[in-house]
Structure 1
Amino acid sequence: MPPIRPKISDEHRRRLLVTRHLLTPETRAATPEQVADAVVALHATDPAGVHLSVAARLATPSVTEAERALYTDRNLVRMLCMRRTMFVVPRALAPAIDASTARTVAARERRNLLKVLTEQLGHDARWLSATERAVLATLVERGEVSAAHLADAVPQLRERIVVAPGKPYESRPRLTSRVLSVLSAEGRIRRGRPLGTWASSQFRWTIAEPHPELPVDRARAELATAYLTAFGPVTTEDLRWWTGWTLTDTRTALTRIDTVDVDLTCGPGHALPAHLEAPATPEPAAVLLPALDPTPMGWRHRDWYLDPAHVPELFDAYGNIGPTLWWNGRIIGGWAQRPDGEIATHLLTDTDIGREARAAIDGETARLTAFFGDIRIRPSLRTPLERRLSAQEGGAAVRRFNAGTAERRHPQR
């Protein structure tokens, strides 16, 4: 008779989530490095998202502290890795992420670039290697410079390719970003400080610091352990989706770490021994997390913290989640910054959340408003709810969450 597997409830998982992901005032971190360690990797597709994910989890939100960790001490490393997505990861974990995921992504990026160069411009691998050497030499000579300055120094980068030929959105960009992306994916260069504010998407470039190379199997086991520590208990599909590995590679990695087979509401799962202990009940807490934050994007199966009925409002057509409003480990709504700087929030639940929750949301909204200051952002991905909330005049579509009253949606006119 097979052994009985421990059952872990959704409530158990939510309590673990809230405390491990630093989503209460009592669990907030002192440094950005502690935040990154807690969630393994910070989504960096939208540059502002890194700062907002960190700020939500810091006891004292600080742009200066985040920039120190990213650009001065370089304890946080920006990498194109899991699911071909840009992340900011702890420096200590970078070798494992490089060997387990980033190398595969980089090889694909190089193949794709060479295909474009050959088909559109008639260039070969030797031409690309010569161009890359010129880029690296320029960075060694000049230090940290912008992409525009690199294109001025290396004329090959100014050649143009055609993207989406024949489509209404056809464009003819320079090669600059494609070549720099490949060099960055391979860990040969890295993004430095942005040209503008912390919300800017334009970065300077510099030579990357090398890190130790790990065997692939060891690296996958190390990354799987880090993921389970932060996100477990999880299903096999959760780990496969989050890493972007094949099912075979995912299963092999799981055999290399000490896990306990458990039953979750969504099916069989894997936990670390520490996950089996009943977690203490955390203090009730609200938090506003940005688009693509690592917490809502941490699992493939999300029903235990997100009502499936709310998915159409919070996700775009490609499966990317927008800004979310949380209460006690559940997503209960969303938020957006309006052009005048106001943070508008919206509840998606019909259940009365109570006075304590409303006060907590008001407090977090004020905290986020103070962090933004004069900075205004426009997310690189737009979800239905975020679009409505960020409208300058929201009266016809929404009523703001304030004065202790949850806003209500009204039919669009």
Structure 2
Amino acid sequence: MGLYDQSCCVITLCFMFLVLNNPQFSYSMSSCTSQKFTNNKLYEHCNDLPHLNCYIHWTYNSKNSLLNLAFVATPTNPNGWIAWGINPTGTGMVGTQAMIAFKNLNDTIVVKTFKLNSYKSIVPGELIMYRVANMEAMYSNKMMVIFASVELPKDVKELNQVWQVGSSVLNGTFPGIHDFQPENLNSKGKLDLMKGQSVSNAHHEDSMVKNRNIHGILNVVSWGILFPIGIMIARYLRTFVDPVWFYVHVTCQVSSYIIGVSGWATGLKLGSQSKGIVYTSHRDFGIALFCLATLQVFALFLRPKKDHKYRFYWNMYHHGVGYGVLVLGIINVFKGLEILQPGRKWKLAYIIFLSIIGGIALILEAITWIIVLKKKPGKSNNKLYDGQNGRQQQPLTS
């Protein structure tokens, strides 16, 4: 072995020694039981939290209601943050009193307490319900750890715990917004202080994911697929099969509305399951879409006869509202896809679908105009037709 090879081996062994004998913390991503704190911090229990690759080590002293803990997590990037907190009033993020660790402008790991009054109101300061002591944080091997002692109210047997990770810190002093993926939204559960267990809300989480998927599928099928096809039927099919087009059009749009109402109902259910989580623009577009679609359904019952003097105004109303629903529906489908993020292939598939029906619409538009122009009598043609038997009549003369 040459001198170069010997030097490489020495450097490698030194590096491994430093990693394995970190003075603060050694870890394994597989389980919390393999994580050791070498700064004389020992805990009776540890739990692998079900989301975001997070872990909690803890000891609860029932005599003085003191919870000593170490929360271990990997921030989304090295300049991100981690958080652990207790929600005294609910099971979600809103209302949580949390400890958040991050790197400040001096590149030092700090941990501060925050009150999460809402998704738009995160207030730094001392916690109201709990007294926290011995807070410190560290960063090692791409993982952050929060150490703390929390004084709990007397006779508490379980806690609603919430945890989270983020990717950015604003001006080195304030945690930026985290992702809204299912993993982030479901990072909550109960900490059973008597049994030493962390219990997840698995049934609730499965129900939310199921309802999100149902909500998305119903609305894509309704406003994103059936409604545009129904408009194309009304505009182009009447030229070829009249009056069959009318019944096909009505069937398509009423089906779209029924499916859309079902999707709207699942959206309301999702809102009740995830209080505090609000997608403002998606919600506002959805409300406007539902109102316009309801007006469009009423148009079916208000439809005057062709020779009625108000038929012109009804046509303006019907066509205007219809195209409004079309535009809002497509926009809100894309907003929903951004929220669900089901995979790039689904968004691409919907874009391809829109491109195909758009191309078909252009072709049918051209064909329709050709047929209409051919049927239109020329300016020099002063012959009249009775429209029933096609018999030619001479124009009346004075």
Same fold (TM over 0.5): no
Structure-2-length-normalised TM-score: 0.19
Higher RCO structure, 1 or 2 (CA under 8 Å, sep 6+): 1
Richer in strand (by share): 2
Structure-1-length-normalised TM-score: 0.19
